[in-house]
Chain A
Amino acid sequence: MFRLLEETGFTRVRSAVVPRFRFRKESTQDAAEAYGVKAVMMTGLKPLT
């Protein structure tokens, strides 16, 4: 997603992990961790020109 934002033209793209995100079900959380699934916060700007 980060790369997609930059490739589309967004600048000053920043991302940070949402620290408290997790799935309720332990089995889902385990599978998510195996795939490196996480929640992130992303910001970016559309350039003026």
Chain B
Amino acid sequence: MGRGLTMTGVANDQASLEAVLKDEIIRMYQEVADKPESTFHFFHGREAAELFGYAPEWLDRAPTGAVASFAGVGNPHERSNLQPGEAVLDLGSGAGLDAMIAAWRVGPTGRVVGVDLNPAMCVKAQAHVAATGTRMECRQGPMEDIPLPNASVDVVISNGVINLSFRKRRVVEELFRVLRPGGRISITDIVSAKQLSQSIVNDPKLWAS
């Protein structure tokens, strides 16, 4: 019984920390979107996109706000091999740059769905994509419970998002669930070769970054 109580306590602690982390993630990436001229400890905006090899013509074609708010850690388009007509999920779509590039590549017969924790970012992403004459649908929701049916997309792209979750196994299982058989992932993310110290794990500001 004592062990059960302890395990419940650990689960409660994790749930509490996860809730704080969720708020911190929303706050940090909202700040990138609202104040892209600010300096962050990571590269962002056009500088970062160019660093990761995004085609200049993509960045010229995209609305300034979408490019300025880019906060990815690589270029998931490099190996996504998107084809016209494909259905794509952009997990953690942010201000919409990756979703819009995907929408251009899959064309009018394709479909792009973004998922983001922050409903305000969903609104922003859809507006950015619409401004380029194409469209995406953005659904608000957590990556641990992706608001899409089973086997509903051909490709999942994601850029610097999965590392933010405490429950990465659950996120990966969700990617597998929403993909059609034969579907593929192309994701860029941050990984660590060593177990992070508890002081980092327990600090929402460090974890969210």
Query: A-side interface residues toward B, CB under 8 Å?
Result: 1-2, 4-5, 7-10, 18, 20-25, 28, 35-49
Contact = CB atoms under 8 A, between A and B. Distances in A.
SS class of chain B's interface: helix, strand, loop or mixed?
Answer: mixed
A28 B41 CA distance: 7
Given A2-B191, A25-B41, A48-B182, 19 more contacts: A1-B162, A1-B172, A4-B169, A7-B169, A18-B74, A21-B73, A22-B43, A24-B39, A24-B43, A36-B192, A36-B193, A37-B192, A39-B188, A39-B190, A41-B78, A41-B186, A42-B186, A42-B188, A46-B176
A26 to B, nearest CB: 10
Contact of A23 (B42, B169, B192, B194): B42
Contacts of B42: 23-24, 28
B114 interface: no
Contact of B40 (A21, A24, A38, A48): A24
10 contacts: A7-B169, A20-B53, A21-B74, A36-B193, A38-B193, A40-B188, A41-B74, A41-B79, A46-B176, A46-B184
A19 B186 CA distance: 16
